[in-house]
Structure 1
Amino acid sequence: MNTATHWKVDVTKILCRSEITTVLADLKRKEPRSVNTRQNLIIFRLSTCCGLRASEIVGLNLGDLRVGVTRPYINVRRTIAKGDKARRVPLWWDAGTLADLEAWKVHRQANGASAGDPLICTQCRGNEGKRLDRFNLRKRFLAACSCLGDDRVADLTIHHGRHSFVSHALAGGRSLAEVRDAAGHSNVAITSIYTHVAVDDEGETGHLFVF
């Protein structure tokens, strides 16, 4: 069966631009008070603004965040990528995401983390630095979205953040090939499914991909 022809995007699960900006604003307002909230911001960024799968997010190491180069990117290693297919996820597409991830890396390094330590980890005193599992990651993503209301959160999973990334990247003018490579799709036909998904409240898709 051809997945690209038999699977459709549920547009009700795509986070529209106003929802993404609402979540980011809420998290950034609260992050100075809580390192856990700050990490939830990073999880939301990795899912919704970078398109990473849950298994990839929990598998990321600090050294996979390559920010000291001309075109910063996330190195999704073969060992954590679906189908053992390594890829690079551009961070230079979105200045807000780059700034938050770069600041998080600095924070982790200031607390003694090295390149081989997990990017996302437990923050409990006395147990800091332990890699999160996917169950806790999914809970944290939904906690990040809590400002959207209980009814909306009940409709969402962390994987819908990935769908939202693909939809917004295409709407922002990135080519099918660029988004295919960033998302790690096996072929461009899968990516093309998202080309007609409206990502704004008004259904307009001509904006730049910047959050």
Structure 2
Amino acid sequence: MTTRSNGRRLAALRTFFSFTAGSGLTGEDLLINIAGPKIGQALPKALSIAEVDALLTLPAGTTPLILRNHAMLHLLYATGIRVSELVGLPTNSCNLTSCHLRILGKGGKERMVPFNETTRDTIEEYLQRARQLILKGRQSPVLFVSNRGRAMSRGRFWQIIKEWAKAAGISATVSPHMLRHSFATHLLAGGADLRAVQMMLGHSDIATTQIYTHVDGSRLKSIHQRFHPRG
């Protein structure tokens, strides 16, 4: 059993014994002094730049759904937004003139996230050639619509990204969050400012963003060799 599973079971038992003590069924809370297992913070998994290129340049076709999926993948990697923010993105939150998104993130915090012209082109192609065909006369406030004319579920987009990754020859199990990890890792590896990446990701604590500075092993080795006196 994993450490996280043990932690969840202990939390459930704590709730139970706290209830029995509070209701007088037991004399005291039997678990009050038992510490939970320490859970280490695993490093996020990211794709290589070559793998991302293979995913985004996959010659999949020009059907409406393919154009939609292509635009979604481009936007996810270009901005690093959460999958929930992607599938629920309102059309009026995407400014194609200035190439930025207005994202309402966790806790109702708003942030502006830029994207590149290549991504803008994929979104424009989707809007011009695919969105209305998918909607079939229906109306929807979200940018990326499903066959039912409403927002796509996170689970369905997870399936799509796995299918595209397999077609691109990527052996790793790719999730939407892995593209978010890749966005942050590649920006920091290229020398991006940590605070700027924090703002784009919507992290309230910069310590969360700092995790990505430990992912690129080759960059860490280069820094060590450059600055350590015995490097």
TM-score of the pair, normalised by structure 1: 0.73
TM-score of the pair, normalised by structure 2: 0.68
**Counterpart of 2:151?**
131
CA offsets 1:141-184 (integer angstroms, 9 cap, x no match): 212212244742xx222111111111112122221111111110
Cα gap change, 1:49 to 1:9, in 2 (>3 Å): farther
User: Where do residues 15-94 of structure 1 align in structure 2 (5 Å cutoff)?
Assistant: 15-26=47-58, 29-32=59-62, 34-69=63-98, 72-77=99-104, 81-91=105-115, 94=116
CA offsets 1:11-67 (integer angstroms, 9 cap, x no match): xx31100001111111xx2232x2212212122123222111111111101111112
Deviating above 6 A after TM superposition, structure 1's stretches of 4 or more consecutive aligned residues are 112-116
**Counterpart of 2:229?**
none
Cα gap change, 1:50 to 1:31, in 2 (>3 Å): farther
Equivalent residues of 1:66, 1:73 under 8 A apart: yes
Percent sequence identity over aligned pairs: 26
Task: Kindly provide the amino acid, as one letter, of the partner of residue 163 in structure 2.
Answer: A
User: Which of 162, 167, 175 is residue 147 of structure 1 equivalent to?
Assistant: 167
Gaps of 5+ in 1: 207-211
User: Which of 42, 46, 58 is residue 8 of structure 1 equivalent to?
Assistant: 42
Task: Kindly provide the amino acid, as one letter, of the partner of residue 106 in structure 2.
Answer: K
Is residue 164 from structure 1 mapped to residue 182 from structure 2 by the alignment? yes
User: Which of 108, 122, 125 is residue 100 of structure 1 equivalent to?
Assistant: 122
- SS of 2:155's partner is helix
Higher normalized contact order (CA 8 Å, seq sep 6+, divided by chain length): 1
**CA RMSD, aligned part only?**
2.9
Cα distance in 1 for residues equivalent to 2:89 and 2:210: 27
Equivalent residues of 1:42, 1:100 under 8 A apart: yes
Query: How many pairs align?
Result: 181
Is residue 119 from structure 1 mapped to residue 143 from structure 2 by the alignment? yes
Q: In the TM superposition, what is the alpha-carbon distance from 1:204 to its structure 2 partner? A: 6.0
Gaps of 5+ in 2: 1-38, 223-231
Equivalent residues of 2:82, 2:177 under 8 A apart: yes
Cα distance in 1 for residues equivalent to 2:46 and 2:123: 23
**Counterpart of 1:175?**
193
